[in-house]
Amino acid sequence: MNVLSKPADLEAAAPAGAFIQEVTSVQHYTDHLFKFRMTRPASFRFRSGEFVMIGLMIDGKPLYRAYSIASPSWDEELEFFSIKVPDGPLTQYLQKVQPGDAVLMKKKPTGTLVNDALVPGKRVYMFSTGTGLAPFASLIRDPDTYEKFDEVIVTHTCRQVEELRYGLDLVEATKNDPLIGELAAEKLKHFTSVTREDYPVKGRITDLIENGRLFEELGVPPLDPAIDRGMICGSMDMLRDTKAILEKAGLHEGANNKPAEFVVERAFVG
Ligand code: A2P
């Protein structure tokens, strides 16, 4: 396999119409989770919560996967939170990138997990599992989110405790951020649970909604379509099951062109 990740090599070989960006930092969390940051093209605009196609040149061809942008729209750099799959077509190579390496990015961001796709409300729930936290890492650092909602609740459920680290560090840094720290300290709540190890709150988010534990822990009333809004990002099964629960509670799915009470990630791939 010939994988190009040096800026000069990519400049020579990359397809037209893709940005070539330089990786600025990489942090590995577990054997299968890492974060990387990269430069942001001056002309690149996106809405917090959107995703973009990220890729590498592998054996002479560009290979892309959809990645939620984890940084907010005001950030100078772009951040991504990724899985590492040992034989994953892209992530087996992407996980090896180092600062100074280059990656490809397609020019057009898109996505359903944006504030504009929700009708106004009092409280927004951002339900995530695994790397499904990424779009919410963007949204909880965006002042618009706090302008729109009085309470912002991010739930993150993982199999193992160490997989929560990215989110725990992120929320702490967000609460201390000079731009949005004050808003986040007042309005942001982070709810974590783990399914396959001991942890203070054990269980899938779907079960914790249905048995009421989520609301007990947060000290809030059960879901109310008049004031509660939702965003969902996780595996296909998680999306399906969480969506069914929100619908049972009387919330309707919205889209960019038809805002409603909740939205589901439509392009999320592991
Ligand atoms: P579990 O350990 O009970 O399968 P995955 O890596 O498979 O996407 O899982 C990430 C987290 O999402 C795990 O904690 C997992 O719980 C949970 N999960 C998996 N499927 C669902 C589902 N259908 N609804 C809610 N949570 C789920």
pLDDT tens-place string over residues 183-198: 999 999 999 999 999 9
Assessment of whether the complete model's pTM goes beyond 0.85 = yes
Centroid of chain to Cα 16: 28
What pLDDT is stored for residue 5 in this prediction? 73
How far, in Å, is the centroid of ligand 1 from the Cα of 21? Answer: 33
End-to-end Cα, the chain, rounded Å:
23
Q: What is the DSSP letter of 104?
A: E
How far, in Å, is the centroid of ligand 1 from the Cα of 243? Answer: 14
CA distance 66 to 165: 23
pLDDT in tens, 201-252: 999 999 999 999 999 999 999 999 999 999 999 999 999 999 999 999 999 9
Closest CA to 19 of 49, 45, 48: 45
| Shortest-distance Cα residue to atom 19 of ligand 1 | 238
Closest CA to 158 of 81, 224, 86: 81
Q: Which two tokens stand for residue 33?
A: 């989770």
What pLDDT is stored for residue 267 in this prediction? 65
Burial of 26 from C-beta contacts in 10 A (0-12 / 13-18 / 19+): middle
Pocket-forming residues, ligand 1, beta carbon under 6 Å: 129-130, 157-159, 195-196, 204-206, 234-235, 237-238, 241
For residue 6, what pLDDT band results from cuts at 50, 70 and 90? confident
CA triple 140-47-229, angle to 5 deg = 50
| Shortest-distance Cα residue to atom 24 of ligand 1 | 238
What pLDDT is stored for residue 165 in this prediction? 98
Nearest atom, ligand 1, residue 206 CA: 25
Query: Average pLDDT for residues 79-102, to the nearest whole number?
Result: 94
CA distance 103 to 160: 30
